[in-house]
Structure 1
Amino acid sequence: MTRIGRPFDISRLEDEWLEADGFGGFASGTAGTLRTRRYHALLLTATRAPGGRIVLVNGVEAWLEANGKRYPLSMQRYVPDVIYPDVTASLLDFDTQPWPTWRFQLDAQTLLTAEVFVSKATCETVLRWRAEASEPSANSNAFTLKVRPLLSGRDYHALHHENPAFNFNAQTSDEQARVSWQPYGDLPAIQAVTNGVYTHAPDWYRNFYYVRERERGLDFSEDLATPGVFSFNLAEGEAVMILSASIAAAARTANIEPATAHATQLATIEQQRRAAPGSRLQRSADAYVVTRNEGRTIIAGFPWFTDWGRDTFIAMRGLLIASGRYSDAEAILLEWAGTLSEGMLPNRFPDYGDTPEYNSVDASLWFVVAVHDYLATHHATAATRTCLQQAIETILTGYTNGTRFGIKASADDGLLSAGVSGVQLTWMDAKVGDWVVTPRIGKPVEVQALWINALRIAAMWNPRWQQPAERALQAFHERFIDPSTQALFDNIDVDHVNGAVDRSIRPNQIFAVGGLPFQLLDGAAARAVVDQVEAELLTPLGLRTLAPSDPGYRGHYAGTPLERDGAYHQGTVWPWLLGPFIEAWLRVHATGHDVCMQAKARFLEPLYAHLDHAGLDHLSEIADGDAPHRPAGTPFQAWSLGELLRIENLLARMERIAA
């Protein structure tokens, strides 16, 4: 739970909240009600789950008219950088549990509560406002809430501008309980079901300013249309507005029960659903699990990612398997197994179209690791086990014989070689135009750790893979240890030149000790890796992607897309890497209760603290390499949260054993 109380911390105004609908759509905004990103919206829906996302309702302009005064309940920022109106004087506190809730102290007698949540049962966004007065007023209209919806109808990556094609026409029914608009003919209609009164008053609100977009070097201003205004008498009870892009859902709401009753029913269902997972992290984890086709998948991060293979298989180990969500894990693994091509699983599914992209050497190997973790729970049926093992056999056979992008087990040492010019294959995958920032062509260290783990996993049921695993492991020991540091090279046979090595100090070597089912190093060799990573790369929020002593190090992730992508894996901190590091750290230290407590205090407490900043109740994608390690990238990242859950589970098991 994240709560910002009185006096309201002004520095927390732009911390962000997320309400996901389970299909790729979501609502999102800030604690201070300002929209700071193009992705902040109240109704953002996935037309082809989980892709094809469009923004329909960006936000609202809300205010209360009481006793002859007007009290703003929402803030807007306009070009050049003007905030109007300003609610900071009246904003009493903000809480994320059970969903985003604001309290405003409007005057000495009047307290107003506003809340928003997305119903996973119906994909509707529910907004509610309640006023409490310590002294009743003789004027029955003393509390009049006015709400203007701000609409666009655009791709969620785009921006909207005033244009004559926007259709302001409103369709009303049921004594104005239901109002619908269809701004553009090729998009779903927007449905608003309320207990208020709608007055048609079309207008444009121009030049909204999105500060996060400007910081990212992107276009940052937008015009939004407002078709009219809703009025609610809060003296008679709470105000309700239910937004939906589904005609069927809106019709069901209007025809079966009043808006207030339907909102209450949705709130009850949502409270029960959110209470079921138990822990705060598990409740947050649920946001990333979404529908794809007839199966399930994991959104890599909100607000702008869809589902990526590598991210899915890394994240699900903590989000699902370690959290006991076995049916979801099985559904996802089976769904992705059906996308195998030439021994490879996709790197990602594009927003548009169904043709997946296969430019990843490690996504398929992370799939093998995720399957191992799932099968180890003994919840798979015989049919599921057979299907998943066959998928692994296909992957290993394809990689052994050779597949796309030069991916092939080397005949000379059994290690996995990969890479062609102009294609990014590892998780360090930033690319700008034709520039691959970290190409890592050759035999990257974490790819070998994954390859050897995959071979050993498959050897558990097929002895064919035992000898290749032993051969590759021996070659790893012989070829990857840097004699000058006793730690590991980041890459060997660089650019497919035999014997060429990359001595860059990066976090990828940690996977030889932690983060995977089988560690490749032990004893002094393992300790040398952990010590180097700890000394050069460890920060409170994760591991740097490059040591600060390296000439290519970039300590800040900021600026234009070119500048940001150039820093993405050149020093930028990644929280998800703390999972492998903590596991490696535990493996090289003596086990026991005291060691577990030390790991929690040193490594987990800063992550827990971060749950109350940036993406509230979640972990960020990245952070600056330099202190104070400002969070950046997506504020809601699946594998960051997943690895924290996985390590929590690991520490709990270790403590039980120690006891």
Structure 2
Amino acid sequence: MIDIRFGPQACADLTASASREWLVTDGRGGYAMGTVAGLRTRRYHGLLVVAGPTPASRRVGLASLDPAVTLPSGTQVRLGAHEWASGTVDPRGFELLERFDLTDGVPRWRWRIGDVVIEREIAMAYGRSCVAVVHRLVSGGPVRLDLSAACTWRDAHGERRADGPTPRLEPAAGGAVVEGAFRLAGPDWTPEGQWWLGVRHREEAARGLHPDEDLWYAGRFSGALDEPGAELSVLAWADELAEEPPPATALVEAARRRHRAVVAAAKPADAVEATLALAADAFVVRPGAAPDVVAGYPWFGAWSRDTMTSYEGLFLCTGRADEGRELLRAYAATLSEGMLANTADTGRVEHNTVDATLWFLHAVSRHVTLTGDTDLGDELLPALHAVVEAHVAGTRYGIRVDPTDGLLTQGGPPDVALTWMDARVYGVPVTPRTGKPVEVNALWINGLAGLAELTELAGRDATALRELHARASGAFGTRFPAPAGWLHDVVDAPAPAYPLGGAPHHDDDLLRPNQLLAWSLPYAPLEPDEAALRRITEALFTPLGPRSLAPDSPGFVGRHRGGPAERDSGYHQGTVWPWLVGPFVDAARRAGLPTDDLLVGLVGHLGEYGLGSVSETADGLAPHAATGCPFQAWSVAELLRVHRQRR
């Protein structure tokens, strides 16, 4: 894997070390996450964040475990870091860090106080809501180490305050049970019980959200580290409270072994592929009987569009085809009126997506093509044919095949946005794209061709599918090329002066990256247009991937910053989306254009935001600072997929 390591200058510079985040996951949707500095900059940061019935319904438990070292002289040195509502950062343990590294997916800190050197490692037990925190004396000593446990028990999207109920602690062997929800265990536990008021999260302040919370100082663990090699470990877990996990050091080593096995199963050709294979592992979870995909950490759960877009990279490029088979079968069983549900992250199951189901057709086709698993193709054929039939007949939100040209149109109530450009501000879609979006129809045509092939592999007649495909392909080639020299983003869109459904229509030729799918998919409707791709590259491409809108277009927003409304207004109006590097590279390769240097920026990005991973988004203007989730499934999956194709 690539070497992710920071020395004392980067660690002690709070701007640098607090903007680089690490993540370890439990395979169920829970995680531990924080920054190189040790400063909690998000409400989502914590050492034990527990997944609920769905991956998105997480709760923060153990917020931090702050080390303090008592030297032989009697001087106590605090190694933790907190920012307070006043803006003060105290303590400032990051100033004593001489190194941070991420090795085999395990984060490790190394503090130096004179001749005393102490290391910390953090790992999670795979398949359990359990975190292990190990401290080790590397040199110097003897010293005493105290670990102060700051706790809460709240929804990961909110805060808890001292004006509410005091957290309930019950004694347990070696520690305590907090709120009947999670348990702490370690050496020489001393209960305390005190509010830490006004802990500030600077990233939430920057996102226009409430930045402060109160934490409950539950108590501290203590122990003597008499000589190098001595250890002091703490466990925190939320499942099977009465059953203590294996020792913390054993869990750390088990995590390392498992991570190496995950990488080996992917058969990486180089360190970049190895790093991305391990990054992909964080998103594949098993919250129940079947696998699922977390769209992004720390705030997303499962989104079918992200899952299916990511499918090839997360499963087929990592040696996880068997798990992928389970996932596809499970998703097929949830189809309703020919549609996959979009997500349940909002608290209810929603089917407000036009493209997720089309990505599902693509995922099944890629699975069978790359693995030869025709049995799965045969098994899912009835469900896949039902998808096409529902779209031809018409399903939710006006999603239907236009009988005049065979293209797929969509557009329901004016408050819904059905494509991946789905941001809304005060209930109004920013980019509604009602009509016939270019990537939706590229996916539709691709899906028809893939399904026809699966049907013929099963020995069945695919004439009707071939005819539908030919008709839609012909219409696509006629309707989507724009006089500007690229493809329309949407055709047959309602004219701006008319309400939804009004008779006049117009064709939207704003320069966006959605058209890349018309040239990049396996059964793309068009052969790549070299001249158009060169213009798109000039206008949209950045080191972290394509912008969502050209800078000279009306409505372009160059910075994805500010409060929720401001951020959502720019989400798809110029913000960079790294996942789009996949279709961009595919289209360029098919056009015979050079692609060797298109991934350099994203590979470099693996060590500068979500460590070892790829961010959700970035600013459209230089220096293209990363925004959104630091760890995003389809960003990782698409980079891994196209990087492997370089072989």
Provide TM-score, normalisation by structure 1. Answer: 0.90
Structure 2: which amino acid aligns with 1:403? T
Matches of 1:371 and 1:266, distance apart in 2: 36
Matches of 1:292 and 1:308, distance apart in 2: 14
- Give ranges in structure 1 of 5+ residues lacking alignment: 254-260, 653-659
Q: CA deviation at 1:379?
A: 4.8
Between stretches 89-98 and 339-348, larger displacement belongs to 89-98
2:566 counterpart of 1:543? no
- Aligned residue in 1 for 2:420: 427
Q: 1:122-161 residue pairs with structure 2 within 5 A?
A: 122-134=128-140, 142-161=142-161
CA deviations over 1:151-174 (Å, ceiling 9, x no partner): 11100001110135223433132x
Matches of 2:212 and 2:505, distance apart in 1: 52
Per the alignment, do residues 494 and 202 of structure 1 end up closer, same or farther by CA in structure 2, a change over 3 Å counting? same
- Give ranges in structure 2 of 5+ residues lacking alignment: 264-273, 456-461, 495-500
CA contact (8 A) 1:579 1:646 kept: yes
2:536 counterpart of 1:533? yes
CA deviations over 1:465-509 (Å, ceiling 9, x no partner): 0001000111111111112x2311111100255651111111111
- Aligned residue in 2 for 1:569: 572
Between stretches 230-239 and 469-478, larger displacement belongs to 230-239
Q: 1:64-143 residue pairs with structure 2 within 5 A?
A: 64-67=69-72, 68-98=74-104, 99-107=106-114, 109-134=115-140, 142-143=142-143
Cα RMSD of the aligned pairs, angstroms, is: 1.6
CA deviations over 1:397-427 (Å, ceiling 9, x no partner): 1101100000000011110010122111000
SS in 2 for 1:146: strand
CA contact (8 A) 1:543 1:577 kept: yes
Matches of 1:568 and 1:409, distance apart in 2: 29
- Aligned residue in 2 for 1:509: 515
- Aligned residue in 2 for 1:489: 488
Q: Could you tell me which of 592, 598, 603 is aligned with 1:603?
A: 598
Between stretches 221-230 and 32-41, larger displacement belongs to 221-230
Q: CA deviation at 1:641?
A: 0.3
- Aligned residue in 1 for 2:30: 25
- Aligned residue in 2 for 1:8: 10
Matches of 1:477 and 1:332, distance apart in 2: 34
SS in 2 for 1:191: strand
Between stretches 537-546 and 54-63, larger displacement belongs to 54-63
Per the alignment, do residues 513 and 191 of structure 1 end up closer, same or farther by CA in structure 2, a change over 3 Å counting? same
Matches of 2:526 and 2:531, distance apart in 1: 10
Between stretches 633-642 and 79-88, larger displacement belongs to 79-88
Count matched residues.
613
Structure 2: which amino acid aligns with 1:502? D
- Aligned residue in 1 for 2:476: 476
Q: Could you tell me which of 159, 177, 181 is aligned with 2:177?
A: 181
Q: CA deviation at 1:277?
A: 2.5
2:439 counterpart of 1:443? no
2:418 counterpart of 1:416? no
CA contact (8 A) 1:482 1:488 kept: yes
Structure 1: which amino acid aligns with 2:642? I
CA contact (8 A) 1:50 1:291 kept: no
- Aligned residue in 2 for 1:656: none
SS in 1 for 2:214: strand
- Aligned residue in 1 for 2:497: none
Matches of 1:554 and 1:347, distance apart in 2: 27
Q: CA deviation at 1:181?
A: 2.5
Q: CA deviation at 1:324?
A: 2.4
- Aligned residue in 2 for 1:257: none
Q: Could you tell me which of 57, 64, 67 is aligned with 1:52?
A: 57
SS in 2 for 1:617: coil
Q: CA deviation at 1:351?
A: 5.7
Structure 1: which amino acid aligns with 2:149? P
Matches of 2:523 and 2:478, distance apart in 1: 18
Structure 1: which amino acid aligns with 2:253? T
Per the alignment, do residues 556 and 158 of structure 1 end up closer, same or farther by CA in structure 2, a change over 3 Å counting? same
Between stretches 87-96 and 335-344, larger displacement belongs to 87-96
Matches of 2:524 and 2:366, distance apart in 1: 15
- Aligned residue in 2 for 1:61: 66
Q: CA deviation at 1:331?
A: 1.2
Matches of 2:434 and 2:480, distance apart in 1: 15
Q: 1:291-310 residue pairs with structure 2 within 5 A?
A: 291-310=286-305
SS in 1 for 2:51: strand
- Aligned residue in 1 for 2:203: 212
- Aligned residue in 1 for 2:46: 41
Matches of 1:45 and 1:292, distance apart in 2: 11
2:358 counterpart of 1:359? no
Q: CA deviation at 1:386?
A: 2.3
Matches of 1:550 and 1:468, distance apart in 2: 35
Per the alignment, do residues 125 and 475 of structure 1 end up closer, same or farther by CA in structure 2, a change over 3 Å counting? same
Matches of 1:517 and 1:210, distance apart in 2: 45
Q: CA deviation at 1:47?
A: 2.2
Matches of 1:552 and 1:458, distance apart in 2: 38
Q: 1:215-226 residue pairs with structure 2 within 5 A?
A: 215-226=206-217
Q: 1:204-353 residue pairs with structure 2 within 5 A?
A: 204-235=195-226, 237-248=230-241, 251-253=243-245, 262-278=247-263, 279-350=274-345, 352=347
Between stretches 490-499 and 370-379, larger displacement belongs to 490-499
CA deviations over 1:224-250 (Å, ceiling 9, x no partner): 0012111111116200101101234x5
2:387 counterpart of 1:395? yes
CA contact (8 A) 1:189 1:247 kept: no
- Aligned residue in 2 for 1:655: none
- Aligned residue in 1 for 2:559: 556
Between stretches 50-59 and 614-623, larger displacement belongs to 50-59
Structure 1: which amino acid aligns with 2:434? I
Q: CA deviation at 1:603?
A: 1.1
CA contact (8 A) 1:323 1:645 kept: no
Structure 2: which amino acid aligns with 1:489? H
CA contact (8 A) 2:122 2:252 kept: no
Structure 2: which amino acid aligns with 1:92? E
Per the alignment, do residues 650 and 588 of structure 1 end up closer, same or farther by CA in structure 2, a change over 3 Å counting? same
